[in-house]
């Protein structure tokens, strides 16, 4: 089972200067709850943007074309084909970013876990591809309002690929 998990702004921005656009503690908890115990796959830039790496209690796989790259307690795949060969068909695999990796995986996954952040960042440098409603059906939505810990309102949404 291959899924994407991502936080996206209203203009599809996901990052700037190798960092996230904002920190929403409840979104980080949501990410942790969904991915703990599963496998997480990320591009090398996202891996090095993590404050703590590899992510604990998850099988971490980093995508890089650098054949000399190694990192403790972390697996490496050098292509999508190699990645698909080292995961089991019944393994829950989350693609966790970033932009370059999401663009390649969106045709391959069946499920999107999107946190829609209700704000626009015009100065972002990394974007998610558009979510085509003829391909993706939203099956679940849960809105959270801004509060003292969250600068922006956000909605957790799950999309399934239409048959």
CB 114 within 8 A of CB 159: yes
Q: Which of 24, 76, 93, 101 binds ligand NAP (CB under 6 A)?
A: 101
Q: Which residues are bridge partners to 7 per DSSP?
A: 115
- Our finding on whether 98 is near ligand NAP (CB under 6 A) is yes
**Per DSSP, which regions of the chain are E strands?**
2-8, 13-15, 39-43, 59-63, 75-77, 93-95, 111-117, 126-127, 136-144, 154-161
CB of 143 to ligand NAP, least distance (A): 18
Q: How far apart are alpha carbons 36 and 15 in whole angstroms?
A: 23
Of the candidates 18, 20, 27, which has an alpha carbon nearest to the alpha carbon of residue 142? 27
- Our finding on whether 54 is near ligand NAP (CB under 6 A) is no
CB of 163 to ligand NAP, least distance (A): 27
- Our finding on whether 157 is near ligand NAP (CB under 6 A) is no
User: Among residues 3 and 134, whose Cβ is nearest to ligand NAP?
Assistant: 3
Residues that bind ligand NAP (CB under 6 A): 6-7, 14-16, 18-20, 42-46, 49, 63-66, 78-80, 96-101, 104, 126
């Amino acid at each position: 089972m291959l899924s994407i998990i991502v936080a996206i702004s209203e203009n599809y921005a996901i990052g700037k200067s190798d960092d996230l656009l904002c920190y929403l503690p409840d979104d980080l908890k949501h990410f942790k709850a969904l991915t703990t115990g599963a496998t997480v796959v990320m591009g090398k830039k996202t891996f090095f943007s993590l404050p703590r790496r590899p992510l604990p209690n998850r099988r971490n796989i980093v995508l890089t074309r650098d054949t000399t790259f190694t990192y403790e307690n972390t697996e490496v795949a050098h292509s999508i084909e190699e990645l698909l060969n080292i995961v089991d068909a019944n393994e829950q695999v989350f693609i966790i970013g970033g932009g370059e990796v999401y663009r390649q995986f969106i045709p391959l996954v069946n499920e999107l876990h999107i946190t829609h952040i209700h704000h626009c960042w015009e100065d972002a440098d990394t974007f998610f591809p558009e979510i085509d409603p003829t391909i993706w059906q939203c099956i679940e939505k849960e809105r959270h309002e801004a509060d003292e810990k969250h600068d922006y309102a956000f909605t957790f949404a799950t999309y399934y690929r239409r048959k």
